Amino acid sequence: MTTIDIELLSVSKQFGSSHIVDDISLAIPKGKFVSILGPSGCGKTTTLNMIAGFEAPSSGLIRIRGRDQTGVPPEARKIGLVFQNYALFPHMTVAQNVGFGLRMQGRRREDIAEGVSRALKSVHLEGFEDRYPKALSGGQQQRVAVARAIAPSPSVLLLDEPLSNLDLKLRETMRVELKEIQEDLGMTFVYVTHDQEEAMAMSDRIIVMQGGVVAQEGSPADIYGRPRTSFVADFIGKSNILPISAVAEPDRSLRVYVGAAKVAMKAVAVNNLAPENARFCCIRPEAVRLADAAGALDEPVNRMTGTVQKVVNLGAYLEAWMLIDGDIILKSMIRSTRIDKLTAGCRVELAVAHSAVQLLEQ
Ligand SMILES: Nc1ncnc2c1ncn2[C@@H]1O[C@H](COP(=O)(O)OP(=O)(O)O)[C@@H](O)[C@H]1O
Ligand SMILES: [Mg+2]
């Protein structure tokens, strides 16, 4: 049975008359890497601040390890924090920085030394004890910040956009490292980010937030493969989102009519969505198949003819925008090696598997 480490029960937060977090309920399993993902301003930091105890909910309940946290101050919650604005102390060495929490707990000298060395080992920074923060790279500084947060052995680590000040290459390396650190420690990580790739790469579960509410929650594969709304489909990865009307066929398959009803496609319902409630469909660009140079197309259903409008070469693949029936535009992602002669104005045969045409409720 999964143990739940952190629970939010109908938690809301208002600042004045603004509802910043609106009736959120969450259960964060122990030992998992859970991301709270959403655009800037959607209430991610506020949610984390309530879990940490820096803000009190306006209503609702937060439980940590089964205990109601109402009135429990941050230092009594056994939580580690790596916040974007939680810089290292510049006048302290790495060892002094990492030992800070242990000193605050009044631990013995030997315990502190042992805790510091264990934490530095976890983040692969043994031998850096006597350096000062300014003599470290940005990535190393963030690893020290993680070591400082885990040294007092919290049961949960809260991280608020910890990689956002690093350049792209380093962010990509650190993603992998953070996930490895989390797995090695077996600690619950709650990771706030607006970067969908980051969340996809690291998380066991993703909670997508939009305007103070949870838009969808699930595994990265769920969220990517079965988005429920056009907001989620659009925010996670690339997608074609088309306005549709959907009807169930006598053989229980679904048919969607796109745009001015000239384009009909077979589709699937996801998340038990009834066809009459579907307003849009989502087609991932990688699911739009194009015929090869010889005209062969491996997808038997949902065949269409399109005119290439624009092609962008992104190195490993091409992005092509196709106009279908003068009405709808489908973006396609094609591996560069497969197609040599795809230019604006070309007529192409294309197809989309019916399982790749997914209904969305809004
Ligand atoms: N202490 C506060 N007082 C008033 N408004 C706040 C306060 N903290 C956050 N907000 C507002 O709440 C909204 C969500 O903020 P935040 O939780 O920081 O979003 P995110 O972390 O998702 O970018 C923002 O519009 C912000 O201005
Ligand atoms: Mg924030």
Q: What is the pLDDT of residue 273?
A: 82
Q: What is the pLDDT of residue 320?
A: 93
Q: How many CB atoms lie within 10 A of CB 206?
A: 28
CB distance 12 to 19 below 8 Å: yes
Ligand nearest to the CA of 210: 1
Q: Are strands 303-313 and 288-290 parallel, antiparallel or unpaired?
A: unpaired
Q: What is the mean pLDDT of residues 157-185?
A: 92
Closest CA to 96 of 123, 146, 133: 133
**What pTM does this model have?**
0.91
Kindly give the distance from the C-alpha atom of residue 191 to the centroid of ligand 2, in angstroms, as a whole number.
Answer: 11
Closest C-alpha residue for ligand 1 atom 7: 15
Least distant ligand from the CA of 209: 1
CA of 43 to the centre of ligand 1 (A): 6
CATH 3.40.50.300 fits 4-227, yes or no: yes
Print burial letters for 123-153: b (CB count within 10 Å at least 16), e (below 16): bebeebbebebeebeebbbbbbbbbbbbbbe
* CA-closest residue to ligand 1 atom 6: 15
Identify the pLDDT of residue 253. Answer: 79
Cα distance from N-terminal residue to C-terminal residue, the chain: 34
> 211: CA distance to ligand 1 center in Å?
11
Mean pLDDT, residues 33-51: 97
* Sign, Cα dihedral of 273, 276, 277, 283: positive
Q: Which ligand is nearest to the CA of 49?
A: 1
**Residue 207 CA to ligand 2 centre (angstroms):** 15
- Smallest CA-to-CA distance from 124 within 172, 60, 180 is with 180
Q: Which of the listed residues 45, 160, 161, 213 should we mutate to test ligand 1's pocket, taking the one with most ligand atoms within 8 A of CB?
A: 45
Q: CB of 4 within 8 A of CB of 27? A: yes
| Cα 289 to ligand 2 centroid, rounded to whole Å | 38
In the chain, CATH 3.40.50.300 covers 4-227
Expressed in angstroms and rounded, the spacing between residue 46 Cα and the centre of ligand 1 is 6
pLDDT in tens, 27-41: 999 999 999 999 999
What local confidence, expressed as pLDDT, does residue 256 receive? Answer: 87
pLDDT reported for residue 336:
67
Q: Which residue's CA is minimally distant from atom 5 of ligand 1? A: 15
Element (H, E) at 9: strand 4-15
Phi and psi at residue 273, to the nearest 5°: -75, 125
Q: What pLDDT shows up at residue 134? A: 93
- Give the ligand at the shortest distance from the Cα of 160: 2
Give pLDDT, residue 29. Answer: 96
Question: Residue with the nearest Cα to atom 26 of ligand 1?
Answer: 41
DSSP state of 97: H
Nearest ligand to the CA atom of 207: 1
C-alpha to C-alpha distances, 264 to 9, 229, 283, nearest whole angstrom: 43, 21, 14
Q: Whose CA is nearest to atom 8 of ligand 1?
A: 46
Ligand 2: distance of its center to the CA of 50 in Å? 13
More confident residue, 61 or 254: 61
C-alpha 48 – ligand 2 centre gap (Å): 9
Query: Which numbered atom of ligand 1 lies nearest the CA of 46?
Result: 17
Mean pLDDT of 320-336: 88
Residue 254 above 90 pLDDT? no
Q: Where in the chain is the domain with CATH 2.40.50.100?
A: 231-360
Nearest-CA residue for ligand 1 atom 27 is 41
Task: List pLDDT tens digits, range 52-108.
Answer: 999 999 999 999 999 999 999 998 999 999 987 668 999 999 999 999 999 999 999
**Number of other residues whose CB lies within 10 A of the CB of residue 104:** 10
Q: What is the mean pLDDT of residues 220-241?
A: 94
Contact 145, 86 (CB under 8 A): yes
Compute the mean pLDDT over every residue in the chain, rounded to the nearest whole number.
Answer: 91
- C-alpha 49 to ligand 1 mean position (Å): 10
- Pocket lined around ligand 1, Cβ cut-off 6 Å: 15, 20, 38, 40-46
Pick left, alpha or beta for residue 333 (phi over 0 → left; psi -120 to 50 → alpha; otherwise beta).
Answer: beta
Quick: pLDDT tens for 129-164.
999 999 999 889 999 999 999 999 999 999 999 998
Nearest atom (ligand 1) to Cα of 42:
22
**231-360, CATH topology level:** OB fold (Dihydrolipoamide Acetyltransferase, E2P) (2.40.50)
Q: What does the pLDDT look like over 232-247, one tens digit per residue?
A: 999 999 999 999 988 8
| Amino acid (1-letter code) at residue 173 | T
pLDDT at 195 over 80: yes
**122 CB neighbour count, 10 Å cutoff:** 19
Residues 6+ apart with CB under 8 A from 355: 268
What pLDDT is recorded for position 262?
67
For the chain, the farthest-separated pair of C-alpha atoms sits apart, in whole angstroms, at 76
**Is the model's pLDDT at 1 over the cut of 70?**
no
CA–CA dist 360, 87 (Å, integer):
42
